[in-house]
Amino acid sequence: MSSFIANTKDMQFVLHELLKVSNSDVPGYEEMDRDFTEAVLDAAGKVSSEVLAPLNEVGDKEGCVLENGVVRTPKGFDKAFEAMKEGGWTALDCDPEFGGQGMPYLLNCAVGEMFVSANMAFNMYQGLTHGAYSAIHTHGTDEQKQTYLPKMVTCDWTGTMNLTEPHCGTDLGLMRTKAEPQDDGSYAITGTKIFISAGDHDLSDNVIHLVLAKAPGGGEGTKGVSLFIVPKFLVNEDGSLGERNSLSVGKLEEKMGIHGNATCVMNYDGAKGWLLGDLHKGMRAMFTMMNEARLGVGLQGYAVAEAAYQEAVAYAKDRTQGRDVTGVKAPEKAADPIIVHPDVRRMLMDQKSFVEGARAFTFWGAHLIDRSHALDDAEAEGLISLMTPVIKGFLTDKGFETAVSAQQVFGGHGYTEDWPMSQHVRDARIAMIYEGANGIQALDLVGRKLAQDGGKHVMAFFEMVKAECKSHDDDERMKPFTDALKNASKQLQTAGMFFMQNGMKNPNAALSGSYDFMHLMGHVCLGLMWTRMAKAAFTALDNGASDTAFYEGKIATGRYYMARQLPACAMHLARIETGADPVMALTDDQF
Ligand SMILES: Cc1cc2nc3c(=O)[nH]c(=O)nc-3n(C[C@H](O)[C@H](O)[C@H](O)COP(=O)(O)OP(=O)(O)OC[C@H]3O[C@@H](n4cnc5c(N)ncnc54)[C@H](O)[C@@H]3O)c2cc1C
C-alpha cells in the first residue's frame, strides 16, 4: 500500500521564504501568515495520509464499473468524498457568495498537490467540478450561478468538461455534436463525447456536464462552437432535482492508469441544455479557465512524482545490496543500503531537484493567477499566459520521467504490482496527454505565446532573469546559480532568435524545434526558481535559522539542478538549430 506524507515544510518554505505571501499586495494574502497556512496545510496533509492515500491502491485495483447504466466508484470512495465535503476541502478558493471560503487560488493549489499525490484519480472528481464551477462563475447568468454554484461548491453536484469526440480531439473544429434551439430558450443537445473524466459516478446527487456543441449559424470550424450546461437531472425552479435528462453513459474506458476515475463515453440524445456565455463563443468560454486547468495538470505531473519519490527514498534506505565502494556502511548487515551507491543517489537527486523546483514554479504560477485576477494585473496575466504551456508540458513530461526514475530505484520489484511504483508510473502518464497533448503545448508556446503582444511577455521574462542574476552580483556563493542561469537564458534567447530568423521562411523550422524549446524554457524556469530558493536558504542561514540541515540541503539540491540538469539546455538548442531538415527528411512512405 502506498504511504504518503505531505511535504508541508517545503510548501511553507515556498509560500513564505520564496513568495513571501503575507507581505504581498494581493488582496486575501494578508491572512496567509505562517500559522494560518501551517494549520491549513497540516489539516490537509492529515486528510491526504489518512483518508486518500489508503484508497489509492484500492482505486487502482478495483477501478470503476458500469452496471445497468450506473457507474460505481471503488469501495471507500463514497465515504472519503463525504469526508472531503464535510471538511470544506471542495470549497477552499470558491466565492463566499456561493458558499465558498474565498481563500487564494495559491493555497488551493498547495492543498491540491497533496490530494493528487495521495490519490490522483479520486481528486479528479472534485478537480473537474472546480473547472466547471469556474466556467459557470465566469460566464453564467445570475440565475445559472444561483442554480448550480452553491451545490457545486459543496460537491453535492459534481461537474465535467465535454470537448472530445471520437474523430476530434486536438482539432475541435471537426466537432459534430449539435445544439438545436428550442421554443423554451433551451437547446436539444445530440452527439457522442468520449474520454469524459468523472462523466458519471455514485459520489454526487447530480452531474453538471459542460458540453461544447455546434449551434446553427456559427459557421465552420471552432467558430460555430458554443458551450452548454447539460445536467444529468434537470433542476426544478425550487432547486430540487427533477426528471432525468436524455443522456447516458455508453461505456467506461479500460485504461492504463487513474482506474479510480470514471472515464466515460457520454451519449447525448436530444438532452436539454442551456447556453453558457455567448452563442458561438464556446471555445472562448471553455478556454477562459485554460491557465488554471493546465496549471492543475502540470501540478498532477509533479505531485505524482513527489509520491513516487517518497517511496523511492524509503526503499533506498531499506533495501540492502552490495557495499559502499568507499567503505562499509552497515557492517552488521550482509550488504549496505542501496542509498550509498552514487548511481542510486543520482536518481534520487534527479527526483528531489525536479519535484522541489516544480513545486516552486507551480506555486509561482498560481501566485501570478491570483495577482492577475485580484489586481487586474496585465503583466502577471501576460506572464502566466506565457508560462502555462511550459508548466503543463514540461512538468508532466518530467513528472512521468521522475516517476519512472523512482520506479527504477526498486529494480525488478518496482515492475511488480506488489509495490505502488507501477501505479504511479501509469497514473502520471495521462497528464502528458489530456488538457492538450504536450506536443500541442509546445506549438502553443512557440506558435502563439512567444509572439503574443509583440513578444512583450517573453522579453519581460528575459529581463526578469537578467535582473535576478544581477541582484546576486555581490554574493559569491550565488555564482554557481547565476552563471548557469545566465548561460541557459542566453541559449533560450538564441533559440528564440533562430525561430524569428527561420520560422517565417519555413514554419517547419520552428515547429520541428518547438518541443525542445518547451523543455529548454522549462529548465530556465526551474533554474530561476532554484536561484531564488538558494538565495532564500542562504538568507535563512545568515539569519541564524536553526534547521540548518533543511537549508543546506536546499542549497545542495539546487546546485545539483544547476550543474546536472541545466546542461540539457545546450542539447535542446543544438537540436533546435538543426531546423526542419533532419525531422522532415523522409517521405511518408519511408516510415
Ligand atoms: C483518461 C483520459 C481522460 C480524459 N478526460 C477528458 C475530459 O474530461 N474531457 C474531454 O473533453 N477530453 C478528455 N480527454 C481527451 C483528451 O483531452 C484528448 O485525448 C487529447 O486532447 C488528445 O486528443 P486525441 O486523443 O484525439 O489525439 P489527437 O488529437 O488525434 O492527437 C494525436 C497526436 O497527434 C498530435 N497532433 C494533433 N494535431 C497536431 C498538430 N496540429 N500539430 C502537431 N501535432 C498534432 C498530438 O499532439 C498527439 O500526439 C481525456 C483523455 C483520456 C485518455
* 281-320: b (≥16 Cβ within 10 Å) or e: bbbebbeebbbbbbbbbbbbbbbbbbbbbbbbeebbeebb
Per-residue pLDDT of the chain (591 residues; tens, 9 = 90+): 668 999 999 999 999 999 999 999 999 999 999 999 999 999 999 999 999 999 999 999 999 999 988 899 999 999 999 999 999 999 999 999 999 999 999 999 999 999 999 999 999 999 999 999 999 999 999 999 999 999 999 999 999 999 999 999 999 999 999 999 999 999 999 999 999 999 999 999 999 999 999 999 998 888 889 999 999 999 999 999 999 999 999 999 999 999 999 999 999 999 999 999 999 999 988 887 788 899 999 999 999 999 999 999 999 999 999 999 999 999 999 999 999 999 999 999 999 999 999 999 999 999 999 999 999 999 999 999 999 999 999 999 999 999 999 999 999 999 999 999 999 999 999 999 999 999 999 999 999 999 999 999 999 999 999 999 999 999 999 999 999 999 999 999 999 999 999 998 999 999 999 999 999 999 999 999 999 999 999 999 999 999 999 999 999 999 999 999 999 999 999 999 999 999 999 999 999
How many angstroms separate the CA atoms of 556 and 551, rounded?
9
Q: Is the CB of 255 under 6 A from ligand 1?
A: yes
The pLDDT value recorded for residue 1 is 61
The pLDDT value recorded for residue 2 is 65
Q: Dig out the grid coordinates for 336 from the structure.
A: 549496505
**Residue 161 CA: which ligand 1 atom is closest?**
9
- Render pLDDT for 506-520 as a digit per residue (tens, 0 to 9): 999 999 999 999 999
Q: Dig out the grid coordinates for 231 from the structure.
A: 445536467
Catalytic-residue membership of 113 = no
The pLDDT value recorded for residue 288 is 76
Q: How far apart are the first and last CA of the chain?
A: 44
How many angstroms separate the CA atoms of 512 and 575, rounded?
9
> To test ligand 1's pocket by mutation, which of 64, 124, 161, 170 has the most ligand atoms within 8 angstroms of CB?
170
Q: Is the CB of 511 under 6 A from ligand 1?
A: no
Q: Is the CB of 512 under 6 A from ligand 1?
A: no
- Residue 44's nearest CA partner among 79, 78, 11, 1 is 11
The pLDDT value recorded for residue 292 is 86
Q: Dig out the grid coordinates for 523 from the structure.
A: 529548465
- Residue 360's nearest CA partner among 571, 534, 130, 580 is 534
Helix ranges restricted to H, 157-289 = 282-287
Are 80 and 151 in contact by the 8 Å Cβ rule? The answer is: no
Q: Which member of 435, 463, 476, 577 is catalytic?
A: 435
* 269-280: b (≥16 Cβ within 10 Å) or e: eebbbbbbbebb
Å from CA of 444 to ligand 1 middle: 14
How many angstroms separate the CA atoms of 557 and 398, rounded?
17
Task: Please give the helix or strand (H or E) that residue 17 lies within, else none.
Answer: none
- Render pLDDT for 274-301 as a digit per residue (tens, 0 to 9): 999 999 999 988 887 788 899 999 999 9
Name the residue with the closest Cα to ligand 1, atom 27.
169
Å from CA of 367 to ligand 1 middle: 28
The pLDDT value recorded for residue 219 is 87
**Residue 258 CA: which ligand 1 atom is closest?**
1
Cβ neighbours of 15 (radius 10 Å): 24
For residue 282, give every residue at least 6 positions away whose Cβ sits within 8 Å of its Cβ, in sequence order, or none: 212, 213, 225, 226, 227, 228, 276
DSSP code at position 228: E
Q: What is the dihedral of CA 157, 161, 166, 172, to 10 degrees?
A: 160
How many angstroms separate the CA atoms of 283 and 175, rounded?
12
Cβ neighbours of 565 (radius 10 Å): 22
- 373: buried, middle or exposed (CB in 10 Å: 19+, 13-18, 0-12)? middle
Q: What is the pTM of this model?
A: 0.97
Strands 157-162 and 206-214: parallel
Report residue 468: phi and psi, to 5°. Answer: -60, -50
Q: Is the CB of 211 under 6 A from ligand 1?
A: no
